[in-house]
Amino acid sequence: MGDMIRDPSPATRDNRNRLFYGTFIHSKTREELEYLHNTAVAVDASGTIVAVNKTCATSREAEDDVCSKLGWRHGEFDVRIAKEGQFFFPGFIDTHVHASQYPNVGIFGKSTLLDWLNTYTFPMEASLADLRKAKRVYTACVRRTLAHGTTTSAYYATIDVAATNLLADICLRLGQRAFVGRVCMDREGFCPDFYIDESVEQSVEKSRVVAEYIRGIDPGYELVAPILTPRFAPACTAPALEGLARLQKELDVLVQTHVSENEGEVALVAELFPWSKSYTDVYDKTGLLGEKMILAHAVHLSEEEATTIARQGAKVSHCPCSNSSITSGAARVRWMWDKGIDVGLGTDMSGGYSPSILEAARQAALVSRHVAMRLEGEEKERAKLTVDEVLFLATRGGAKVVGLGDKIGGFEVGKQWDAQLVGLAMVDEEGEADGDSNVDIFGWENWEERIAKWVYNGDDRNTKSVWVKGRLVHERR
C-alpha cells in the first residue's frame, strides 16, 4: 500500500544505536498504564533497550546523558523525538491469526464456525498451494498488520509446507516477529478431501520439516520461530495430537490450537473423543497441554477446564471480533484471570473481521460489557474491562502468551525495541483537525482521556512508525 515501506534499504535496517525521546506509555500492571514523560530510551544496534532515563528535560539532555553513561558519541547515533501529543507505545501482539484467511476478512455472512470453515475457509486455504497467490496474500497480510502496529504475530498458515515456509520468509524480510505454523489436520470425515494431511505420520513430519526450514533461515529464532499447529481437535486424530506432543517436547517450541469456540464444536469433540472428560481434556490427555500452548477462544470452558488450563500453565488467546462476528459467544476474560490464566488478544482473521489489534482491544472492552449484561451486582461491575486492561492484553498480556514476556511488551532495559509511535490529530480554533486521523484532540484532555480516545476511535493512521527489534519496519508517508 502507498504508505508502507517497500524493501528497506540497508540504511533503514537500523544497524546504528538509536535514542528515542518524549512520552512513553506502557502497562505498569495489568490494571494500570504508566505514563513516562520527558523520558529517553536508548536502543543499541542489536535492537535491545540499553538505558531508560525518566528525567530528561530535553532531548539534548538525553543525548548528553547517553554519551556520558553509555559512551556513545554525538552524531554516531540516531535520535527520534515524539512530538507534542505523540507517544511511544509497545508494539501490539496478535496471539492468534490465520494469515492464509486474510483475503476473507469481513466475509462470513450469517454463518457459524463449522459451516464457515467449509464455505469460506478451507477453499481459500487450499488455494494457497499456488505459491504466487500465497506470496501475494501473505505479503498483503504482513504489511497490513505491521501498519496497524502489530510487531509480533502467531500465525496459522495452511497445510502446505512450501507456502508455510514462504510465510516465514516474508515475515523475516518485512521484519515482523512471528511464530509460523503449518496447519495439521488429518481426520477423514471432518477435513475435506482436497485439504487434508495424508496420514498421521505426514501430519507430524511436515511440521518438523517447516521447523527445520525456519531454523535454517533464522537459526536463533531471533525474529521468526516455528509453532506446532494442530488445527483443533475435530480436525485431528488422537495419534496425530500425540505425535505433535512428542515433537513439541523434542523441539521445545510453542504449540497453538483452538478450544471451546462454539457450542456445536464442543458437542462434536465430545462425540469424536468419547474417552475425554472435556474439550480441554483432549489436549491434556494427548500430552499437548502445557506452558508453551496457546489456546484460542476458550469461550465455553467449564470451571474444571479452566482449572486444568491454569494448572498446566497454558495460555489463552481472546478473539472478541471473531467470537461476535461468527456468533460463537462472549469469552469471560475476568473469569479466566481470576482462575490464574494468562490471556492475550487475537484478531483471528478471518473469523475475526479486522487486521487490527487495536480493534480487538476495543472489541474486548465491548464484549466484556456484553458479558457484564448477563451478570448482577459486583460481578457485573467486575466483568467490564477498562481501557488500561485491554491495552495490557494487547501488549504485555500477549507477550506472556507467546512466551516472550521477558523480551517484549514494555519499555525496560534488556527488552527488545518492538514499538510504535502514535499520534492523534489536534483540532484548531476553527474546528479543523491537522492531518488525517479519526481521533480529534481538543487540547483540554488529560493523557488518560487521550488514550481512551485512541482506543475507541484510533486506527492505523495514528500509528506513524513501527519498529521491531530496533528496525524500522513501517512508516506512514
Looking only at residues 115 through 134 of this chain, which bind a second copy when binding is defined by CB under 8 A?
Answer: 132
Residue 165 CA to residue 212 CA, distance in Å, equals 10
Instruction: Give me 391's grid cell.
Output: 491495552
Binding mask 83-122 for a second copy (x = CB under 8 A): -------------------xx-xxxxxx------------
Q: Which listed range, 20-28, 34-42, 57-65, 352-360, lies at the site for a second copy (CB under 8 A)? A: 352-360
For a second copy, which is the closer residue by CB, 66 or 105? 105
Q: CB of 368: closest distance to a second copy in angstroms? A: 9
What are the Cα distances from residue 377, in Å, to 85, 303, 383? 38, 21, 10
What are the Cα distances from residue 381, in Å, to 29, 76, 371, 374? 20, 53, 10, 11
Residue with C-alpha cell 502514535?
422
Q: Are 367 and 324 in contact (CB under 8 A)?
A: yes
Q: Which listed range, 1-9, 45-53, 62-70, 286-294, lies at the site for a second copy (CB under 8 A)? A: 1-9
Asked if 459 is part of the footprint of a second copy (rule: CB under 8 A), the reply reads yes
Q: How many Cβ atoms from other residues are within 10 Å of residue 316's Cβ?
A: 30
6-15 long-range contacts, CB within 8 A, separation 24+: 7/173, 8/175, 8/471, 8/472, 8/473, 12/471, 12/472, 13/471, 14/45, 14/47, 14/78, 14/467, 14/470, 14/471, 14/472, 15/45
Q: Which listed range, 48-56, 92-100, 224-232, 442-450, lies at the site for a second copy (CB under 8 A)? A: 442-450
For a second copy, which is the closer residue by CB, 39 or 363? 363
- DSSP tag of 435: S
Q: Which of residues 287-346 bind a second copy (CB under 8 A)?
A: 324-327, 329-330
Q: Which listed range, 22-30, 37-45, 394-402, 435-443, lies at the site for a second copy (CB under 8 A)? A: 435-443
Asked if 136 is part of the footprint of a second copy (rule: CB under 8 A), the reply reads yes
Residue with C-alpha cell 476458550?
298
| Secondary structure class of 97 (helix, strand, coil) | strand
Asked if 463 is part of the footprint of a second copy (rule: CB under 8 A), the reply reads no
- Per CB under 8 A, the list member of 51, 79, 114, 140 interacting with a second copy is 140
Asked if 425 is part of the footprint of a second copy (rule: CB under 8 A), the reply reads yes
- Per CB under 8 A, the list member of 131, 239, 457, 471 interacting with a second copy is 457
Binding mask 356-395 for a second copy (x = CB under 8 A): x------x-xx--xx-xx------xx--x-xx--------
Q: CB of 448: closest distance to a second copy in angstroms? A: 9
